[in-house]
Chains A and B, each alone.
Chain A
Amino acid sequence: MTRISVKVDGTAYEDEVEPRLLLVHYLRDRLGLTGTPVGCDTTNCGACMVDLDGKSVKSCSVLAVQADGGEVTTIQGLASADGEWHPLQRAFHEQHALQCGFCTPGMIMAARDLLRENPDPTPEEVREGLEGNLCRCTGYMNIVRAVLAAAAEERRHQAPEPGAVAEHAEPSTAGSGAPV
């Protein structure tokens, strides 16, 4: 057993854990933070993605002991304290970017990381940025739209002057058209 201290979604925890315990199981089974699911056993699917010290990681491939002293943000820590959703959460809802919801937590965490690195991505860059996250329901198109919509909203938020929306952000609720 190894003693770890870790901050998760703003709460500090101290725990004794087996060195082999995966971070995703620590979050789910020990802390009860079941918003982060497991979709595979080979690190391909990305459903378990969380933010560890400012980087998105697949928590099925990180040991809990490696998070010692670190800070983790999960999907359950994204909404603000007063319950206001993160722009990505809103955009996923608005753009119908989720169905069964199982990939959604990891997908949103990956998109959050992507937008931090590239606040104004092209549709192709969004697709590349989400390559580590599998979705079986949506066929990805509405996810791309949602990420572009959230990016546009965040940019509007940061630079509220009119005309600040980049030309290739084309969030749309129409059935087709915009090549995303």
Chain B
Amino acid sequence: MTTVEEPAGPAGPAAEERPIGFGRMKRKEDPRFVRGKGRYVDDVKLPGMLHGAVLRSPFAHARIVSIDTSAAEAHPKVKAVITGETLAGLGLAWMPTLSMDTQAVLATDKVRFQGQEVAFVVAEDHYAARDAIELIDVDYEPLDPVVDARRALDPAAPVIRDDLEGRTDNHIFDWEAGDRAATEEVFSRADVVVEQTMLYPRVHPAPLETCGAVASMDPVDGKLTLWTTTQAPHAHRTLYAMVAGLPEHKIRVISPDIGGGFGNKVGIYPGYVCAVVGSIVTGKPVKWVEDRSENLMSTSFARDYHMNGQIAATRDGRILGVRVKVLADHGAFNSTAQPTKYPAGFFHIFTGSYDIEAAHCEVTGVYTNKAPGGVAYACSFRVTEAVYLIERMVDCLAAELGADPADLRMRNLLQPEQFPYQNKTGWEYDSGDYPACLRKAMDLAGYEELRREQAEKRERGELMGIGLSFFTETVGAGPRKHMDILGLGMADGCELRVHPTGKAVVRLSVQTQGQGHETTFAQIVAEELGIPPEDIDVVHGDTDQTPFGLGTYGSRSTPVSGAAAALVARKVRDKARIIAGAMLEVSPDDLEWTKGRWSVKGDPAMTRTIQEIALAAHGALELPEGVEGHLEATTVYNPPNLTYPFGAYICVVDVDPGTGAVKVRRFIAVDDCGTRINPMIIEGQVHGGLADGVGMALMEFIGFDEDGNCLSGSFMDYLLPTALEVPAWELGHTVTPSPHHPIGAKGIGESATVGSPPAVVNAVLDAIGVRHADMPLTPGRVWQAMRHGQVEAPQ
């Protein structure tokens, strides 16, 4: 491929000095991980620590008649058995969710999904805890479950949430965006309207490390320390304070090394609360770590959007409008992670990358007897669903018009001069050069040659498919005027302290789960201050040690916290200027900054490095009136807008006509996330997201039978791609900086997960000549689609 030289960010210094900050720096976190010296939650061992285990419901929907814990309590190694009744006494049987619903911590009245938490045992070791949960006798009275979301609103459907006062059905919310009348108008004058119903099936982020916690309530000083798998430690601390009534300064949440999050570790799970209660009850630290089947069956699922899309166009292929109706299956409790005002997340970015005259969507959320969740798995708050919808609809339109999918996209893409672009559902896209990005992907793929090869293969009866996806992301939530999590504005703090000898520590509110923050945030500060990144320690994940902020998800770290890191470094630089002025006995106005030093304008020999300034700031130097000593600063960054990275993806598949097996032969991904802090890390993010996309498109699926039994509660059934199912990725990039971001950087982490599934699905359907078939495109489902021209939505 052609390698495009990394341009400096808008605020970047001269190109020859750039490697100190931005660039392909090897990761600072690797040395501990490659030697088995990472410290994950299950590695935490405290004196006297006990172990918890959760008893779970075998039924999807059943009334609890009685719970007999006497045999478990009699187990010689058991220290406590906690039930919903125990928790009710503490006011903790239910907890609030991130979507302002409530979720049962331990079931009291009835169970509402298979795998739901019913009791919690605390014992001396986890083998004994597992033994003891088998000794608990629960008497259930099974009820009819609601499994199919499409029947949840039938008047005859059983009411799942009879705990909610006045609730007589399974309806959660209706939400809409866009202009209905304007959309009807463009549809009424369209030459062509194509309609397609599609399901984005329920999947699961399945981080390799499951969720867990070690809760330690110190009975002497009354302080709770909670090591936990959380992507948002500060938000968790505040919620524990609000829910458990503990004073916030007496709660310390530590998110240590996290073995992948992918959105799975944003919310608070019942197991965490049980561990806290277990520690309060026993006076000892309590560890709870779920196993894989518990993770898949009870923690946040992703997607589960039943979508009906319509796209309107002229006969010559100009897209006029899109409208969508969505039925969203949220499971038994609405615990979807979302900014408060966005019950369907950012789904209304579904107009995608196209210049559309009008658009409208309606989303209806319903309860079913399944685990809660919805927003997870690198979805950027439902952008996965939005991109899948529009990119499938464009392909359906191409099929209807007999147009080439690449050509149809190229003709409808937004043009560079249209940015900042106000889309028809309320988003203001910051920047983009979409045609250049698509052309680059087509060049890398050899698109014309691929189509020729495909035509030849078709002659021979071989099934080869080429699928495209052009996506626009919206990441970096977000402006606090519009976006909050349970009332907490989505701004993030950052603190930077330069030590006397010129080394520095930067403290973040966000929390890496493998995305390399310890490296890239040091690079941002290095770029701004000229302190080598090796000399900058990045501290995160400990609420006693870091400034408040909302955490890492929705690819928001670089857009929000990355901006904060750059700005706090500039504050330090400004203060260093005053100190340098005092050192050089000149006015600060006479100084100019070159990387790492302040110098007298026109007299470069009169100069002080940032390290010299740091020492002087802590020394005997007489400072100007009103200037405090030392060299440090804090900031809070409230983003003016989100960032809108984009990408053009092309997938090439071969389908076995006899078996329906799909082989992803090539995958070309061109991403544009603006200024690239560390291209090596960006590529790793993209590689991982592409594997997610191949997994979702071809293999992954959380299914249920008609009784509500979860059929995908282990890695035997929930299939993740191995090294054999994915190809060697072919990457390219363009650089269109975000104009509103201090270093021009946009988020990237979720782009590939968002952008790749429609490319894979479009490729498979292109190969077999079927208008639509729902994921996962397993061999059996592809074979059925080939035989019947369609295949039923998976259940």
Q: Which residues on A are within 8 Å of B, measured CB to CB?
A: 18, 20-21, 25, 28-29, 32-42, 44-45, 47, 74-76, 78-79, 85, 89, 92-94, 96, 98-105, 108, 123, 126-128, 130-144, 173-180
Q: Chain B's interface: helix, strand, loop or mixed, by majority?
A: loop
B29 A101 Cβ-Cβ under 8 A: yes
With A20-B127, A36-B36 already in contact, the answer to whether A140 and B723 are too (CB < 8 A) is yes
B684 A134 Cβ-Cβ under 8 A: no
Asked whether any CB of chain A lies closer than 8 Å to the CB of B502, the reply is no
B691 A140 Cβ-Cβ under 8 A: yes
Write out, one digit per residue, whether chain B residues 246-280 have a CB within 8 A of any chain A CB (1) or not (0): 00000000000111101000000000000000000
Q: A34-B39, A102-B514, A175-B731 given. 11 additional CB < 8 A pairs?
A: A28-B42, A76-B35, A78-B35, A96-B684, A100-B258, A102-B260, A127-B724, A130-B722, A131-B722, A136-B692, A140-B687
Asked whether any CB of chain A lies closer than 8 Å to the CB of B189, the reply is no
Show 13 residue pairs from A and B whose CB-CB distance is below 8 angstroms, ordered by the A residue: A33-B36, A34-B36, A42-B714, A76-B37, A93-B30, A100-B208, A108-B34, A135-B208, A138-B687, A174-B3, A175-B732, A176-B730, A176-B731
In the bound complex, residues from chain B placing their C-beta under 8 Å from that of A139 are 684, 686-691, 726, 729
Per a CB cutoff under 8 Å, which of A33, A105, A136, A179 touches B262? A136
B27 A93 Cβ-Cβ under 8 A: yes
Expressed in whole angstroms, the minimum distance between the Cβ of A72 and any Cβ of chain B is: 13
Per a CB cutoff under 8 Å, which of A21, A29, A41, A176 touches B714? A41
In the bound complex, residues from chain B placing their C-beta under 8 Å from that of A37 are 40, 42, 208-209, 259
The 5 closest A-B pairs by CB, nearest first: A35-B36, A100-B514, A101-B33, A102-B259, A139-B687
In the assembled complex, the Cα of A108 lies from the Cα of B33 at a distance in Å of 11
B31 A93 Cβ-Cβ under 8 A: yes
A136 B684 Cβ-Cβ under 8 A: no
In the assembled complex, the Cα of A18 lies from the Cα of B685 at a distance in Å of 42
Asked whether any CB of chain A lies closer than 8 Å to the CB of B540, the reply is no
Per a CB cutoff under 8 Å, which of B31, B208, B728 touches A136? B208
In the bound complex, residues from chain B placing their C-beta under 8 Å from that of A40 are 291-292, 714-715
Asked whether any CB of chain A lies closer than 8 Å to the CB of B21, the reply is no
Chain B positions 154-196 with a Cβ under 8 Å from a chain A Cβ: none
Residue of B208, B209, B262, B715 with most chain A CB atoms under a 10 A cut-off: B208
Chain B positions 395-429 with a Cβ under 8 Å from a chain A Cβ: none
In the bound complex, residues from chain A placing their C-beta under 8 Å from that of B730 are 176-177
Residue of B30, B32, B210, B685 with most chain A CB atoms under a 10 A cut-off: B30
Chain B positions 721-753 with a Cβ under 8 Å from a chain A Cβ: 722-724, 726, 728-733
Write out, one digit per residue, whether chain B residues 664-700 have a CB within 8 A of any chain A CB (1) or not (0): 0000000000000001110111111111100000000
Chain B: CB-nearest residue to A93: B30
Expressed in whole angstroms, the minimum distance between the Cβ of A86 and any Cβ of chain B is: 9
In the bound complex, residues from chain A placing their C-beta under 8 Å from that of B714 are 40-42, 44
Asked whether any CB of chain A lies closer than 8 Å to the CB of B515, the reply is yes
The number of inter-chain residue pairs (CB within 8 angstroms) is 203
In the assembled complex, the Cα of A102 lies from the Cα of B207 at a distance in Å of 9
In the bound complex, residues from chain A placing their C-beta under 8 Å from that of B729 are 139, 141, 176
In the bound complex, residues from chain A placing their C-beta under 8 Å from that of B731 are 175-176
Asked whether any CB of chain A lies closer than 8 Å to the CB of B45, the reply is yes
In the bound complex, residues from chain A placing their C-beta under 8 Å from that of B258 are 100
B733 A137 Cβ-Cβ under 8 A: no
Expressed in whole angstroms, the minimum distance between the Cβ of A128 and any Cβ of chain B is: 6
A93 B260 Cβ-Cβ under 8 A: no
In the bound complex, residues from chain B placing their C-beta under 8 Å from that of A38 are 42
In the assembled complex, the Cα of A96 lies from the Cα of B31 at a distance in Å of 12
Asked whether any CB of chain A lies closer than 8 Å to the CB of B457, the reply is no
Expressed in whole angstroms, the minimum distance between the Cβ of A166 and any Cβ of chain B is: 18
Per a CB cutoff under 8 Å, which of A44, A103, A131 touches B715? A44
Expressed in whole angstroms, the minimum distance between the Cβ of B440 and any Cβ of chain A is: 12
In the assembled complex, the Cα of A54 lies from the Cα of B530 at a distance in Å of 49
Asked whether any CB of chain A lies closer than 8 Å to the CB of B520, the reply is no
Expressed in whole angstroms, the minimum distance between the Cβ of B637 and any Cβ of chain A is: 25
